[in-house]
Amino acid sequence: MSERLTQRDIARLARVSQTTVSLVLNNRTAASARIPVETRDRVLKVIRETGYVADPLARRLLQQRNQILGVFTYESVFPSASADFYHPFLSGIEESAEELGCDLLLFTSAPVTDGHRLVFHENNRLRIADGSLLLGRRIPAAELSRLAAENYPFVSVGRRDNPLLPDGTPALIPYVGADYTTATATVTTRALQLGHKQLAFVGPGQDAESSADRLLGFQQIAPRGLHLPPPAPAERVKDAALARRASAPAERERGARSRSSKGASALLATPPASPVPPAERAGRAVGDMLDELLGRGVTAVLAEDLADAAALAHSARERGLAVPGDLSVVALGDASRPVEGDGEYSGFHIPRKEMGRRAVGLLEAVLSGEEAELQQLLNCELVEGSTLGKVKGI
């Protein structure tokens, strides 16, 4: 039907050569390219009338910029499970991209296997974009080192360990991350100040940098604190009322997709900050964990995942325990969800939107060759909340 217009078509319509069209388009005003206003206007008029835009692929072939920023997500973007995780990032990215006048290219062509995508597959189209943002809880070191080795301009949203290049030297990965270590250390300190003697950290503590960083911050302050892996997600429970309230709009869409992966690894077992409501996690495992915690005299729990924090608090309250009276619960993630009762969870807030914004800024700096701090950590905002209190009996 509608054939794609080329510069030759424009040239023909404007009665000039393809070269001239290119020169006009790129505003070349060098001595070797003198286009009088009259001709220039004639060309521009045709371009406006036809809505011609240069083929981005042809431009990239010559290493030109297209005002297209790539967004590569290591999981699917839109399915509801990841929605709340990606959304704030994307919101910030969109805002910045708009300011820069860039379009965003979502690499949906990369096949998803097992819920994960990889940049380097047979037909990777990364180079269509001028540069890319990488999002995901965890990014394989091999991908990062290869991107760095190929000199591809990218910025990771989230801190990443610097991988080794094939030649053995470490690569400097550009990122905009959140300073989980400091934030976790701070809330841990706060817990100690409130008189808690036995603390527990609940979370994988490894695999993803974000998990490791939190554990590190915890152990810096409370080296003798407990570290427990996250509870296994229970099957969905009957009591759907609570669950629905939290996730209703997307509920129907989701139906088909099984939420908990079959996998046994800690990583897969805890989807990134997914908004799994308390009720769904209040299975046996959480109860067991609570037994263990109480048995060991723990008075304050710090959970990486808000859902785990919620499940623990819920479970504790069901047993007649007061939160934070008998047990303090801290969320090392997005603590800004209301607790049953009142107030928010104590913990900190991840500046996701700002991370998105800054990541675009950094990528732009990289692309235009500006000087810039390649590795940036943003502060997490502490949330006082209502689930961390003085230890009982003080």
Partner DNA sequence: CCTGTCTGCTAATTCGTATTAGCACGCCCT
Partner DNA sequence: AGGGCGTGCTAATACGAATTAGCAGACAGG
Q: Encoding tokens for residue 323?
A: 């939160």
Q: Encoding tokens for residue 101?
A: 């006048």
Q: For residue 351, which amino acid is it? A: P
Q: Which stretch binds DNA (CB under 7 A): 10-18, 87-95, 168-176, 322-330?
A: 10-18
Instruction: Show contacts with a copy of itself in window 128-167 (CB under 8 A).
Output: 128, 149-153
Burial of 334 per CB tally in 10 Å (0-12, 13-18, 19+): buried
- Residue closer to a copy of itself, measured from CB, 98 or 373: 98
**Helices 240-254 + 80-100 axis angle, to 10:** 60
| Residue 334 engages a copy of itself in binding (rule: CB under 8 A) | yes
- Residue closer to DNA, measured from CB, 39 or 189: 39
| Residue 23 engages DNA in binding (rule: CB under 7 A) | yes
Sign for the pseudo-dihedral over CA of 251, 310, 135, 116: negative
Q: Encoding tokens for residue 122?
A: 């047979």
Instruction: Show contacts with DNA in window 56-85 (CB under 7 A).
Output: 58-59, 61-62, 64
Q: Closest separation between CB of residue 258 and a copy of itself, Å? A: 16
- Residue closer to a copy of itself, measured from CB, 16 or 105: 105
Minimal CA–CA distance to 305: which of 197, 232, 376, 221? 232
Q: Which stretch binds DNA (CB under 7 A): 21-29, 174-182, 273-281, 298-306?
A: 21-29
Instruction: Show contacts with a copy of itself in window 203-262 (CB under 8 A).
Output: 241, 244-246, 248-253
Q: Closest separation between CB of residue 368 and a copy of itself, Å? A: 10
Query: Which of a copy of itself, DNA, none interacts with 123 (beta carbon under 5 to 8 A by kind)?
Result: a copy of itself
Q: Kindly state the number of chain residues that form the binding site for a copy of itself, as judged by CB under 8 A.
A: 80
- Residue closer to a copy of itself, measured from CB, 110 or 228: 110
Q: Closest separation between CB of residue 369 and a copy of itself, Å? A: 7
Q: Which stretch binds a copy of itself (CB under 8 A): 34-42, 44-52, 195-203, 229-237?
A: 44-52
- Residue closer to DNA, measured from CB, 22 or 186: 22
Are the beta carbons of 171 and 152 closer than 8 angstroms?
no
Are the beta carbons of 137 and 74 closer than 8 angstroms?
yes
DSSP letter (8 states) at residue 338: B
- Residue closer to DNA, measured from CB, 54 or 141: 54
What is the total residue count of the chain?
A: 394
Using CB under 8 A, pick the residue from 9, 55, 207, 326 that binds a copy of itself.
Answer: 55
- Residue closer to DNA, measured from CB, 22 or 162: 22
Q: From CA 31, how far away is CA 21, in angstroms rounded?
A: 17
Q: From CA 194, how far away is CA 393, in angstroms rounded?
A: 11
Q: From CA 205, how far away is CA 229, in angstroms rounded?
A: 8
DSSP letter (8 states) at residue 126: G
Q: Closest separation between CB of residue 30 and DNA, Å? A: 7
Q: For residue 257, which amino acid is it? A: R
Do β-strands 112-113 and 116-117 pair in parallel, antiparallel, or remain unpaired? antiparallel
Burial of 85 per CB tally in 10 Å (0-12, 13-18, 19+): buried
| Residue 98 engages a copy of itself in binding (rule: CB under 8 A) | yes
In angstroms, the Cα distances linking 267 to 67, 110, 115, 255, 282 are: 35, 22, 12, 23, 19
- Residue closer to a copy of itself, measured from CB, 127 or 227: 127
| Residue 22 engages DNA in binding (rule: CB under 7 A) | yes
Residues binding DNA (CB under 7 A): 4, 6-8, 15-20, 22-23, 25-26, 28, 32-36, 38-39, 54-55, 58-59, 61-62, 64
